Amino acid sequence: MHALAARLGAPHALAVAAARRAIDERREALLAGDPHDGADLESRDVAELESRATALLAALEQPSLHRVLNATGVIVHTNLGRAPLPAAALAAVARAGDGYCNLELDLATGDRGSRDAHVRSLLCELTGAQAAFAVNNGAAAVLLAVAALAGPGRAIVVSRGQLVEIGGGFRIPEVIAQSGAQLIEVGTTNRTRLSDYEQALAGAGAQVGAILRVHPSNFRALGFVQDVSIEDLCRLGTPVIDDVGSGVLADARGISVPADARGIPVPADARGIPALADEPSIRRSVAAGAALVCCSGDKLLGGPQAGLLVGRLEAVGSARRHPLARALRIDKLSLAALEATVRLYRDPARAAREIPVLAMLQASEETLASRARRLCDGLAPSAVLVRSFSRSGGGALPLLELEGPAVQLRTGHDPVLLARSLRGGEPPLVARIKDGCVLLDPRTLSDAEIPPAIEAVGAAIDELARR
């Protein structure tokens, strides 16, 4: 092994790792009955081992986290990093990471500052909340909210229809258990009435710390169903935690901000995004009087991984002071990206145009058709135009199907092998298989990504042809 490593001309640790993997692969092949019995190890096999070790060395020197071309049509793709960041957020991350920044320093006084101050006023301005706080993800926001308003010795009331599980096995009953609070279930799986909450509150009295309302982000119950509006829940007088899931600041009527300090409404000057009509708005929950509204930053809000808590001053203060807050705090790079993303919402037209998630949700037929034609022309004669459906992804808008053009690859190769070859390219291209063919959806590819996508497909086809 050391002799092989010495031939690679690389740093010792890397060379040894590559040599060890190459030798292990060869040993496994021999044990599996490879016809090369190793008799001529000093000639042919040494050259093969060196070639393989060199290839493994190149792979070891590559980063594990790759830029990926998303041709799946799933906009908020959890496995691909969820929301792609707007250019303004990318620039903010570069600034914050280049040297030092005033993360927790008040530049005016020289005293220690608070990291949430960088987004607090922006979030309050855009949601109408009295206070705001950011943590490292949406699940953390819910855990912190429950722990801050209920916690050990208290109870929290939840509809049975909202005791949901989201991706990764994150279950609401387990979150409540982790906070130390007692869970009081009300209603049934499909129907919960206001009277169910009233009876639970009357029976538990002062023991109840909060009512938790959970948006079923990744599924919908249809048919004989009933739930209670956020306005009616807030009228009960018990603090309400509203987990709205995806973080919608834009809505079907257009992106707007609440009335300014003089009470003069600020009009929405961007067209609405109809696809968002079925998702709860952060502003609605704040206006209804929810003590805390929780959501993710990297779903429909279109920013980095983050969890937002907005709402009443005393409730947000309780969350900020809770011991869990430090363990769940957001880092400087995510905070920089979050501030830049949220700041875009001050200009509704710019937000709709520059936040990739919003732009993809409302991409026009003309835009999508142009991308699809470019893909198809670049891949001729191995591609044809078809109609298909894109999805929101990220556990949001589970019933939404966005119809549009797509490109179907007809190469004669096994679609599973072709999709695997595409993922193994540089850059990797992730597609989906439909009707026995690999499908490329232009909705999740930018105009600038069309040429590299064409090159990636061509390279994958050539690679399969050489086998």
Question: Which CATH number is 420's domain given?
Answer: 3.90.1150.180
Query: Could you give the percent of the chain with pLDDT greater than 90?
Result: 69
Instruction: Tell whether 311 and 394 lie within a shared domain.
Output: no
Q: What is the DSSP secondary-structure string of 220-245?
A: ---SS-B---HHHHHTTSS-EEEEEE
pLDDT in tens, 128-164: 999 999 999 999 999 999 999 998 889 999 999 999 9
CA dihedral of residues 325, 327, 329, 332 (deg, nearest 10)? 150
- Residue 255 CA to residue 72 CA, distance in Å, equals 27
Q: Where are the beta strands (DSSP E) in 150-237?
A: 155-159, 165-166, 170-171, 182-186, 208-214
Instruction: Tell whether 44 and 125 lie within a shared domain.
Output: no
Instruction: Tell whether 150 and 283 lie within a shared domain.
Output: yes
Whether residue 260 is predicted with pLDDT greater than 70 in this model: the reply is no
Can you give the pLDDT at residue 187?
Answer: 96
Can you give the pLDDT at residue 3?
Answer: 84
Bridge partners for 248 per DSSP: 281
Is residue 422 classed as helix, strand or coil in its secondary structure?
helix
Can you give the pLDDT at residue 365?
Answer: 96
Instruction: Tell whether 363 and 349 lie within a shared domain.
Output: no
Give me the CATH number covering residue 166.
3.40.640.10
Instruction: Tell whether 334 and 198 lie within a shared domain.
Output: yes
Residue 349, H or E segment:
helix 348-354
- Residue 266 CA to residue 283 CA, distance in Å, equals 14
Whether residue 270 is predicted with pLDDT greater than 60 in this model: the reply is no
Mean pLDDT for 268-285 is: 76
pLDDT in tens, 79-111: 999 999 999 999 999 999 999 999 999 999 999
- Residue 246 CA to residue 252 CA, distance in Å, equals 15
Q: Which two tokens stand for residue 219?
A: 């599924």
Instruction: Tell whether 341 and 363 lie within a shared domain.
Output: no
- Residue 350 CA to residue 328 CA, distance in Å, equals 31
Instruction: Tell whether 39 and 173 lie within a shared domain.
Output: no
- Residue 383 CA to residue 155 CA, distance in Å, equals 59
Nearest to 184 by CA among 220, 218, 146, 227: 146
Instruction: Tell whether 154 and 227 lie within a shared domain.
Output: yes
Last residue of a domain, one of 304, 322, 354: 354
Q: How far is CA 179 from CA 156, 209, 233, 334, in A?
A: 10, 12, 22, 25
Task: Report the sign of the C-alpha dihedral through residues 350, 352, 355, 360, in that order.
Answer: negative
Mean pLDDT for 8-36 is: 84
Last residue of a domain, one of 299, 321, 354: 354
Instruction: Tell whether 365 and 295 lie within a shared domain.
Output: no
Can you give the pLDDT at residue 1?
Answer: 81
Can you give the pLDDT at residue 93?
Answer: 98
Which amino acid type is present at position 462? D
Instruction: Tell whether 307 and 246 lie within a shared domain.
Output: yes
Last residue of a domain, one of 354, 371, 395: 354
Question: pTM of the entire structure?
Answer: 0.88
pLDDT in tens, 211-227: 999 998 888 888 999 99
Number of domains in the chain: 3
Whether residue 317 is predicted with pLDDT greater than 60 in this model: the reply is yes
Cβ neighbours, 10 Å, residue 185: 16
Can you give the pLDDT at residue 268?
Answer: 39
Q: Which residues span the domain enclosing 138?
A: 87-354
Q: Is residue 35 very low, low, confident or very high in pLDDT (cuts 50, 70, 90)?
A: low
Instruction: Tell whether 121 and 227 lie within a shared domain.
Output: yes
Can you give the pLDDT at residue 265?
Answer: 40
Nearest to 298 by CA among 219, 360, 245, 354: 245
Instruction: Tell whether 23 and 146 lie within a shared domain.
Output: no
Mean pLDDT for 232-244 is: 96
- Residue 361 CA to residue 363 CA, distance in Å, equals 6
Q: Is residue 28 very low, low, confident or very high in pLDDT (cuts 50, 70, 90)?
A: confident
Q: How far is CA 342 from CA 76, 126, 233, 284, in A?
A: 17, 8, 28, 17
Can you give the pLDDT at residue 251?
Answer: 59
